[in-house]
Every structure is written in structure tokens, then in C-alpha cells.
Amino acid sequence: MYAEGLRRAGRLVVVHRVEAPEGIRVAVVVGRKVGKAVVRNRVRRRLREILRQLPLAPGQDVVVAARPSAASASFWELQEEVRSLLQQLGGLKA
């Protein structure tokens, strides 16, 4: 995934995308540098909800990795950055 796919980095998250034969697979990665367990889980829940709401195009695998600055970002800041990065990578429906 990391070697073959496309990658876009923002201030809050890094998005990796690769074409897949069918369906949509999404992964959210929040490392220990982001914060303690409560903070990591909050960021993870926010990113999952953002990805659930976005109109993702079929036939792709997406990995969203949070950066430490995501811990202090609002839901709306995260949402705008994820949407923007996925749009740049061609991961949203037209």
C-alpha cells in the first residue's frame, strides 16, 4: 500500500490511496505520538465518522494516518483536510 499507492500529506493527516479491484477498504491509523489513549481514540472516532460521511469512489483502498497536530484540531478542520486530500487523490465520487 505505502510503496505502490498515491500519497498526500496535510498538516493534520496523511492520506494514502491505491486502486483496488472491487469495493472500498478504509483504515485509520493513530499512533502513540498523537497522545494518550483517550486522545487517540477521540481522533480515531472523528476520522471514522468523517470517512463514513464522505462519498468515496468504489474500487480503492484508503489509509488515513493522523499526525500529532490532529489531537488539537476540531472536527471541522479534520473534515476539511481529509476531504481536500482525498479529492486531490481522486478518491471521491465525481
Tens digits of per-residue pLDDT, 39-79?
999 999 999 999 999 999 999 999 999 999 999 999 999 99
Candidates 14, 16, 18, 17; CA nearest to 31 is 14
Q: What's 52's domain CATH number?
A: 3.30.230.10
Q: What percent of the chain is modeled with pLDDT above 70?
A: 100
Model confidence pTM above 0.85: yes
* pLDDT score recorded for residue 19: 93
- Domain encompassing residue 47: 6-89
Cell triple for 70:
490532529
The DSSP symbol for 27 reads E
Q: Domain count of the chain?
A: 1
Strands 13-19 and 6-9: antiparallel
Confirm if 15 and 85 have CB atoms less than 8 A apart.
yes
Residue 58: helix, strand or coil by DSSP?
coil
* Structural domain includes residue 94: no
Nearest-angstrom CA–CA distance, 71 and 37 = 11
